[in-house]
Amino acid sequence: MGGWPILCCADLWEEPVSLDVVILAAGKGTRMKSDLPKVLHPLMGKPLVLYSVEMAQAVSERPPVLVVGHAADDVKQTVGEAARYVLQEEQLGTGHAVAQAQEALQGSGDHVIVIYGDMPLLRADSLRSLYQMQQANQAGPITMLTLIADTPRGFGRIVRAEGGSVQAIVEEADATLEQLAISEVNPGVYCFEAAWLWSHLDKIPVSPKGEYYLTDLVGLAVDEGATVNAITIEDPNDALGINTRVHLAEAEAVMRQRINEAHMLAGVTIVDPAATYIHPGVEIGRDTVIQPNTHLWGQTAVGAACVLGPDTTIIDSTIGDRCEIRYSVVEGATVEDACDIGPFGFSYLGDADIGEGTNIGAGTITCNYDGVRKHKTVTGKNVFIGSDTMLVAPVTLGDGAATGAGAVVTKDVPPDTVVVGVPARILRRTEKEHPG
C-alpha cells in the first residue's frame, strides 16, 4: 500500500470547480430505534445531515443533491434550499441511490463526489484531496477514501493487487475468511469521473439480496483495465458512521474534543475538556476561562477574559469582555462588558440585554414568559440586582438602578433609583451607593 499523502488545503480552489456532490440519506436508520429519521438526530445540537451538507458546500459551489427516501418531507424541511432533492422511493442499495441523481446531474459537472448523510466527522479537506487526486488521475474513473480499522466489522473490505492498486471492494456478507481479515476498509466516500459514472451505473449487477451496490463499480473499472486510486484517511474517527445511538454518543465525544482543542489552541483555558460542551460555531475570546460543567450552545459569542462556570449554560447569547458568569442559565441575552452574574445560587436570564458593569445577584430570574409570549428585560450600565430578584418582563432598569434582595420588579425602574419589596417600590434615589 502506497500511503497516499493527504493533500492540503485552502488554495486548491482558485479555479471554479466542476464538481457535484451527492449525499445518500434515503435509508431508514432502523437501528436508531427512533421515530425521528436517523439523519435528523442532533449531534452537538445540529441535525446529522447538515454536517454532510456543509461539507459539500465547502468543496462545491453548487448545492449538493440529497437522495431522500425515508421521511423525505421532514429531511427536506430541515435542509431547505441548501440542497437539491431526488427521491429514492425504494431503498435498493447505494448504487441504486446514486442512480436517482443521474437525471439531475448528467451533463452538469466533470466530477461527482458521493458521501453519506450519517458521517458527520468527515473533513472537507479529505474531499478536496479526493477531488484533486481524481482530477489528476488519467488512468481511471474512481478515487476513493480508505480507512485502516481496528475492528473492520460491518465495513466492505478493500482488496488490493500485488502492486498495491485497488482491485475490488468486497461486502462483508460476501467476503471469504481471508478477506474478512483485511483491516483496510471502505468508508463509502468516492470521487467519480462523471461521464463514466453515469454510463456505468446500469451495469451494476443485482446482488443476491436484490440490491445494487455502488461498490461494484470498482470491480467494473478494474475489469476495463482502469486504475482505481485510494487515499487512506489518517484519523479513523473521520469515518465514524452513525447507525446506533451508541455511535451518536461516540461521535459527540470526538466532536466535543475537536471543538474544545481548537478553542484551547486559540487561547481559551478549558479546565476540564471532558465536562465542557461547546457547540460548533460558538466564538470565544482569548484568555477566557471555562470551568467544568459549562455548556455554550447555539449562536453564542463570548468575549475575552471572561470566567464562565462552573455549572453554567449559555444559549444563543452574546457576552462581552471580562464578564464572570457562574451557576447560571443565560438564554437569548446580550451581556455587555464587565458584568457579574451569579454565583452561589442559580440565576436564569432569558431574553435580556444586560448593560456594562452590571452585577446580577445570585438567584435572579428574568420572568420572560407569560405563558403565551416572551418578553424582554433591559438593564442600563452599572445596575445592581440584589439576590433573588424577580424581573417580570417586559421591564427596563435605568443606569445605576438597584434592587434589594428578594425584590419582585414589575414596573420600569428609573436611573439611579433603588427599589425594594414585593411588588418593588422606590426606596430612594441614589448616585453611587448600593444596597447589599
Residues listed for the chain: 436
Among 25, 101, 226, 240, interactor with ligand UD1 by CB under 6 A: 25
Cβ 124 to ligand UD1, closest distance in Å? 18
Answer whether 409's CB lies under 8 Å from 424's CB: yes
Cβ 239 to ligand UD1, closest distance in Å? 8
- Please identify, using beta-carbon distances, which residue of 26 and 248 lies nearer to ligand UD1: 26
250 binds ligand UD1 (CB under 6 A): no
Among 19, 67, 204, 228, interactor with ligand UD1 by CB under 6 A: 67
Q: Which residues contact 246 (CB under 8 A, 6 or more apart)?
A: none
Query: For residue 357, which amino acid is it?
Result: G
Among 134, 146, 215, 328, interactor with ligand UD1 by CB under 6 A: 215
155 binds ligand UD1 (CB under 6 A): yes
Answer whether 360's CB lies under 8 Å from 376's CB: no
Cβ 97 to ligand UD1, closest distance in Å? 4
Cβ 45 to ligand UD1, closest distance in Å? 21
Give the CA distances from residue 302 to residues 43, 152, 259, 286, 342, in Å, rounded to whole numbers and listed in that order.
Answer: 22, 42, 15, 10, 17
- Please identify, using beta-carbon distances, which residue of 26 and 270 lies nearer to ligand UD1: 26
Among 110, 171, 311, 399, interactor with ligand UD1 by CB under 6 A: 171
214 binds ligand UD1 (CB under 6 A): yes
The pairing of beta strand 111-116 with beta strand 276-278:
unpaired
Among 17, 19, 26, 407, interactor with ligand UD1 by CB under 6 A: 26
Answer whether 55's CB lies under 8 Å from 146's CB: no
Site string for ligand UD1, 278-297 (x = CB under 6 A): --------------------
Crossing angle of helices 72-79 and 48-59, rounded to 10° = 50
Site residues (CB under 6 A) for ligand UD1, limited to 217-246: 241
* Cα(264)–Cα(273) distance, integer angstroms: 9
Question: Per the structure block, which three cell numbers stand in for 326?
Answer: 457562574
31 part of the active site: yes
Cβ 365 to ligand UD1, closest distance in Å? 44
Among 58, 62, 76, 91, interactor with ligand UD1 by CB under 6 A: 91
Peptide bond into 306 cis (omega under 30): no
Answer whether 425's CB lies under 8 Å from 419's CB: yes
- Binding part of the chain for ligand UD1, among 52-60, 87-95, 317-325, 345-353 by CB under 6 A, reads 87-95
Cβ 119 to ligand UD1, closest distance in Å? 8
Site string for ligand UD1, 102-131 (x = CB under 6 A): --------------xxx-------------
Exposure letters 225-239 (e unless 16+ CB within 10 A, then b): ebbbbbbbbeeebbb
213 binds ligand UD1 (CB under 6 A): yes
Q: Is 24 helix (H, G, I), strand (E, B) or coil?
A: strand
27 binds ligand UD1 (CB under 6 A): yes
Q: Which of 31, 245, 286, 425 is catalytic?
A: 31
Question: 3-state SS of 342-376?
Answer: CCCCCEEEECEEECCCCEECCCCEEECECCCCECC
Give the CA distances from residue 16 to residues 20, 77, 79, 218, in Å, rounded to whole numbers and listed in that order.
Answer: 12, 29, 24, 28
- Binding part of the chain for ligand UD1, among 86-94, 196-204, 324-332, 403-411 by CB under 6 A, reads 86-94
186 binds ligand UD1 (CB under 6 A): yes
* Cα(387)–Cα(127) distance, integer angstroms: 53
Question: Per the structure block, which three cell numbers stand in for 203?
Answer: 451495469
* Cα(231)–Cα(94) distance, integer angstroms: 21
Radius of gyration over alpha carbons of the chain, in Å? Answer: 28
Q: How many residues lie near ligand UD1 (CB under 6 A)?
A: 27
93 binds ligand UD1 (CB under 6 A): yes
192 binds ligand UD1 (CB under 6 A): no
Residues with catalytic function:
31
The residues that touch ligand UD1, with contacts defined as CB under 6 A, are: 24-27, 67, 88, 91-94, 96-97, 116-118, 155-156, 169, 171, 185-188, 213-215, 241
